Structure 1
Amino acid sequence: MSSVKKIQITFDCAEPERVGRFWCAALGYVPPQPPEGFDTWDAFTESLPPEQRGSWFAASDPEGVGPRMYFQRVPEGKVVKNRLHLDIRVGTGLVGEERLAALEAEATRLVALGATRGRLLLADEENESCQNMQDVEGNEFCLD
């Protein structure tokens, strides 16, 4: 039997810090402490060659339970639907109007952070309702 491995979720993006800070606010994650020898991330960034500044950002669950998230700058833009997406579980155990209210409250909060609301998928015989969303660079995710 193999052991469970820790994972990191990596986003390719144009503006790593902008996308990373959105996900910090969405999930309650925090950026790591600045590297040893630097009081702030700005001081560290200024020490880098210009082409490396702003090339990445990281975020972690402050409780240490969830996976680390890493955001890396890539030259190409997003052109197709994600093959993998995150579900933010805000309606677990809720059904009907109570679930819809929880999805709506979280969608409203995330839109204020820069997300875009997508299609609301209503419950059917197999699935509960969920809200499709996009982050600040168009990466799809769901409120579930």
Structure 2
Amino acid sequence: MARDVQITFDCADPAALAAFWAETLGYRLQDPPGGFQSWEQALEAMGVPPERRNDASAVVDPEGSGPRLYFQRVPEGKQAKNRVHLDVRAAPGLEGDARMAALEAEAERLTGHGATRLRRHEPAPPLGAGHIVMADPEGNEFCLD
């Protein structure tokens, strides 16, 4: 039996990182619990103090097929290279110069939303199609693939 997965990010600013990844993946902020018009209203009703209202956030695939991304505040910053990372499929079906041009365009767009470009790997056929390594606003590496 296949299982659903959630991808969890430890971070300093859950709301900001959730907004970045929603923009990157075409996701949306998870809806508040039933009966509430906003998360602020729900958190107020739950008695969550204002200084704790950015302790967590989540984004979901609007079509319901992709995994939920959950962002939780932690006190420590990122210390080392990720052992697991996301590959954002920004150029499916493209090869060579067309692929790299599509990846460059997406890298430029995401840089405008707070990402940092780390390095470009040129195509190396037959197995290497080329990709760009990026970091999200809190330094978590991901690849544009």
Q: TM-score range by the shorter chain?
A: over 0.9
The one-letter code sitting in structure 2 at the alignment partner of 1:29 is Y
Alignment RMSD (CA, Å): 1.2
- Tell me, what secondary structure is at the counterpart of 1:24? helix
**Alpha-carbon distance, 1:51 to partner:** 4.8
Equivalent residue number for residue 42 of structure 1: 40
Equivalent residue number for residue 137 of structure 2: 136
1:89-111 Cα offsets, whole Å, 9 max, x none, are: 11222111101110011101101
Matches within 5 A, 1:1-144: 3-46=1-44, 47-125=47-125, 126-144=127-145
The two structures have a TM-score, normalised by structure 2, of 0.93
- Tell me, what secondary structure is at the counterpart of 1:17? helix
**Alpha-carbon distance, 1:74 to partner:** 0.5
How many angstroms apart in 2 are the aligned matches of 1:110 and 1:18? 14
**Alpha-carbon distance, 1:43 to partner:** 2.1
**Alpha-carbon distance, 1:64 to partner:** 0.5
Gap regions ≥5 residues in structure 2: none
The one-letter code sitting in structure 2 at the alignment partner of 1:20 is A
How many angstroms apart in 2 are the aligned matches of 1:114 and 1:44? 29
**Alpha-carbon distance, 1:38 to partner:** 2.4
The one-letter code sitting in structure 1 at the alignment partner of 2:64 is G
1:106-133 Cα offsets, whole Å, 9 max, x none, are: 1011011110011000011321110000
In the alignment of these two chains, the number of paired residues is: 142
The one-letter code sitting in structure 2 at the alignment partner of 1:66 is G
The one-letter code sitting in structure 2 at the alignment partner of 1:17 is A
The two structures have a TM-score, normalised by structure 1, of 0.93
**Alpha-carbon distance, 1:45 to partner:** 3.5
Gap regions ≥5 residues in structure 1: none
- Tell me, what secondary structure is at the counterpart of 1:10? strand
